[in-house]
């Protein structure tokens, strides 16, 4: 276990360093800076701003200064939001993105897994065909298209719910838009895995010994059939916890996704880099947790092999 955790920590550090370096170099390769706008600042003001944010330093001076800040968990100031640091933006807005993400994941799991199991147990019947048809639609339709359709119907036409962020009624549409793809993907994945598991020798042996179909599914098949779903949950949780850029922008949710989009549009390098590091940390951490869950779900998998 110690060796496994040590390898994961080294991998985490290496992946984060690569992502920070590549993102930093890509942002600095783009022509223009955060203060190059249609309405230019007076030369003296722009000079002071560039000195304040060390934009006149060489590329490598700024790179090593930023790496030092990341090590101290200090992502520096925002170029656009006055008197705000990137840490302030993350602290004040992460909860909104996380809440939206958690609700979306719960919807995906609570509907996707049962739908996939039901489809597998009723293969080639109406329930299976209906589940697969709906899942194909949800997988094929981009979430921003679904968001636009839901806004047009339930906000503009029926006026059942308002846009923005606030009460529980405002979470319904963005949660459904964000969870549609993952719900369908989990349903299809669960169905395929369940069909394969139900054909396994140990399931046939359990049925031959008199175990009912329901008990065979609950006690044996479902646990192993969920392995692919657990694998998918790692990147899914990391993605939704940091916010969906498009969904948050569509529904006017002041989460991290919207700040990331605005950061790219306005060349706010501090915000873009800080959120990239946050997302990468969550992604690698979630994948490590998934590896441990793999061992719990299937004892045949060893930590050394993982």
Cα separation values, 229 from 138, 250, 256, Å: 17, 28, 26
Q: Is the pLDDT of residue 128 over 90?
A: yes
Residue 35 pLDDT grade (very low, low, confident, very high; cuts 50, 70, 90): low
Mean pLDDT of the chain: 81
Angle at 128 between CA 125 and CA 134, to 5 degrees: 135
DSSP annotation string for 222-243: HHHHTHHHHHHHHHHHHHHHT-
Query: In a 10 Å sphere around its CB, with 0-12 CB exposed, 13-18 middle and 19+ buried, how is residue 73 labelled?
Result: exposed
Q: Is the pLDDT of residue 38 over 60?
A: no
Q: Look up residue 238 and give its two tokens.
A: 């990391």
Domain ranges of the chain: 1-305
Stated as kind and residue range, the H or E segment containing 11 is helix 2-29
Q: Look up residue 215 and give its two tokens.
A: 């008990």
What is the rounded CA–CA span in Å between residue 274 and residue 74? 9
* Best CA proximity match to 189, nearest among 225, 136, 143: 225
* 270-298 pLDDT, tens digit each: 888 888 888 877 877 777 777 767 666 66
What is the rounded CA–CA span in Å between residue 69 and residue 267? 19
Main-chain phi, psi angles of 267, to 5 degrees: 55, 40
Query: From the CB of residue 152, how many other CB atoms can be counted at a distance below 10 Å?
Result: 11
Residue 241 pLDDT grade (very low, low, confident, very high; cuts 50, 70, 90): low
What is the rounded CA–CA span in Å between residue 164 and residue 249? 10
User: Which of 14-23, 220-229, 245-254, 264-273 is predicted with the least confidence, judged by mean pLDDT?
Assistant: 220-229
Q: Is the pLDDT of residue 116 over 60?
A: yes
Under CATH, what is the fold of the domain 1-305?
Answer: MetI-like fold (1.10.3720)
What is the rounded CA–CA span in Å between residue 205 and residue 203? 5
Q: Is the pLDDT of residue 86 over 70?
A: yes
């Amino acid at each position: 276990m110690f060796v496994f955790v040590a390898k994961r920590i080294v991998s985490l550090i290496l992946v984060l360093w690569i992502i920070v370096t590549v993102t930093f170099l890509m942002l600095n390769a783009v022509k223009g800076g955060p203060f190059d706008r249609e309405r230019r600042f007076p030369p003296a003001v722009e000079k002071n701003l560039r000195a304040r944010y060390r934009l006149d330093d060489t590329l490598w001076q700024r790179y090593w200064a930023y790496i030092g800040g990341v090590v101290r968990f200090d992502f520096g100031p925002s170029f656009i939001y006055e008197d705000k640091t990137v840490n302030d933006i993350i602290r004040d807005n992460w909860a909104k993105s996380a809440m939206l993400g958690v609700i979306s994941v719960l919807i995906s799991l609570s509907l996707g897994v049962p739908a996939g199991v039901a489809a597998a147990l009723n293969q080639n019947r109406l329930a299976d065909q209906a589940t697969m048809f709906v899942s194909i639609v949800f997988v094929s339709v981009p979430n921003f298209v679904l968001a636009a359709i839901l806004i047009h119907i339930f906000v503009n036409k029926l006026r059942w719910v308002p846009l923005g962020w606030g009460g529980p009624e405002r979470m319904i549409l963005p949660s459904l838009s964000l969870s549609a793809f993952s719900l369908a993907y989990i349903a299809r994945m669960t169905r395929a895995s369940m069909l394969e598991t139900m054909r396994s020798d140990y399931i046939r042996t359990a049925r031959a010994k008199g175990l009912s179909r329901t008990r065979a599914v609950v006690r044996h098949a479902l646990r192993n059939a969920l392995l692919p779903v657990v694998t998918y949950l790692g990147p899914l949780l990391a993605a939704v916890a940091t916010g969906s850029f498009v969904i948050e922008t569509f529904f006017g949710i002041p989460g991290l996704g919207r700040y990331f989009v605005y950061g790219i549009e306005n060349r706010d390098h501090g915000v873009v880099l800080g959120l990239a590091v946050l997302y990468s940390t969550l992604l690698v951490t979630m994948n490590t947790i998934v590896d441990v869950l793999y061992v719990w779900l299937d004892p045949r998998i060893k930590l050394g092999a993982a």
